[in-house]
Amino acid sequence: MGSATRSKVFDVQPFRHLYVHVPFCRHKCGYCDFNAYAGMDRLMPDYVDALELELVFARERYPFQQLETVYFGGGTPSLLPPTLAARLLAFIRGTFNVAPDAEVTLEANPASTDEAKIASWLDGGVNRLSLGVQGFDPKALAVLERRTDASQATRAFALARAMGVRNISIDLIYAVPYQSKATWLDTLGRAVALDPDHVSTYCLSFEEGTLLYRRRAEGRVPEVDADLQWDQLDAACVELAAAGFRRYEVSNWARAGFESRHNQAYWRCRPVYGAGAGAHSYATDGATAWRWWNVARPREYIAAAPTTKADGEELEPRKAAAESLMLGLRTTDGMVAPSGFDGELVKLERAGLIQRVSGRVSPTRRGLDLHNQIALAVL
Ligand code: SF4
């Protein structure tokens, strides 16, 4: 951002949502293109120091109000030793005004979730766990190179519940090579049997630069049949609806009242401050928006703190409105459409991708399934 942009950013709406990135992982999974690193655990104490420096700097530089959500994502936040996790949670509570009923989520890998850690998370105010289960089928887990198995996932879930975590989400992945409709149905059934409050189902994507992408290019991993992929998505819709979950976003299902408040902030284009290596922030004055991101590599992030920003961009009002429409149409409830998109909306309605009900636009089931077509039309 140029200097004109820098001065304008002070006029933005206050942040009520905080994302904290923890980039450490035990092992880099073959499909993963997140900002995540294996073999860097020794950097954790310095990394938490740097996070604290960045957060103090951010609080002085930008307007923050009472935080409604805090989200620890990764990477694998559950890898932080309990003492460091407790320190970071206490620091955030001491530095920001966290609402008494704030949603505080931590992403946890079942393999690194134990009693001492759950106790430290609960003490620090975490009230929602997002468990990276990904699946229960050993063959699919092997393709994904997940080093957790079904029994670890089940044990971590039961332990968290027994210790009093009332809001637990499970992540699952479909369209995985070798995963049949039957094994996916079995995975869905085992996930539902745990009685989670929220389920995210992600379609596996082969991202350039990942090991899985290379293995597919070399013919060592088969293509996934497109019809099977749609069948699997359809099976998720049927099974999760039958179990009492509502699909409230393209990839997310929840029991009533357990929709992720933090992720809804993204889909509604609310200002979110992102702290940590590679984290993105989004700010708006209601018309123009700004997005910026931190340096990605943990060592460089630590060296840069507290001025951790790598780069950013300004979204002029039309582009910001297009993004908000595209994101709002990820959610089943949709939104009041911003003005200036009548032509696009008519086309999307004719294509059966959206509907208009009492002044709002929302995606149809087809629009949820084919959201990329909505994005292409709107952006
Ligand atoms: S645990 Fe998650 S963030 Fe870490 S490498 Fe695997 S997929 Fe990526």
Q: What is the pLDDT of residues 111-158, one digit of tens each?
A: 999 999 999 999 999 999 999 999 999 888 888 887 778 899 999 999
d(CA 143, CA 173): 11
What pTM did the predictor assign? Answer: 0.96
Q: Are the C-beta atoms of residues 204 and 234 closer than 8 Å to each other?
A: no
How confident is the model over 338-368, as pLDDT tens digits?
Answer: 999 999 999 999 999 999 998 899 999 999 9
Q: Is the pLDDT of residue 5 over 70?
A: no
How confident is the model over 32-85, as pLDDT tens digits?
Answer: 999 999 999 999 999 999 999 999 999 999 999 999 999 999 999 999 999 999
pLDDT at residue number 288: 96
DSSP letters for 145-158: T----HHHHHHHHH
Nearest ligand 1 atom to the CA of 25 is 4
Distance 249 CA to ligand 1 centre (A): 22
d(CA 164, CA 30): 33
Distance 75 CA to ligand 1 centre (A): 5
pLDDT at residue number 10: 60
Distance 39 CA to ligand 1 centre (A): 13
Distance 229 CA to ligand 1 centre (A): 22
Spell out the domains of the chain, with CATH numbers in brackets: 3-266 (3.80.30.20), 317-379 (1.10.10)
* Ligand 1 atom 7: residue of nearest CA: 32
pLDDT at residue number 150: 85
The strand pairing partners of 293, in sequence order, are 280, 311
Distance 26 CA to ligand 1 centre (A): 8
**Is residue 28 in contact with ligand 1, taking CB distance under 6 Å?**
yes
3-state secondary structure of 4: helix
d(CA 50, CA 217): 39
CA dist list (Å): 132 to 173, 320, 373: 10, 32, 28
d(CA 152, CA 77): 17
Q: Is the pLDDT of residue 285 over 60?
A: yes
Q: Is the pLDDT of residue 101 over 80?
A: yes
Cβ-based neighbour number of residue 168 at 10 Å: 21
d(CA 74, CA 24): 7
d(CA 38, CA 214): 19
d(CA 374, CA 379): 9
d(CA 273, CA 89): 16
- Write out the two tokens for 189: 């059934």
Q: Kindly indicate the confidence band of residue 4, based on its pLDDT and cuts at 50, 70 and 90.
A: very low
Nearest ligand 1 atom to the CA of 74 is 3
Q: Give 318's Cβ-side CA count (13 Å radius).
A: 4
**Is residue 32 in contact with ligand 1, taking CB distance under 6 Å?**
yes
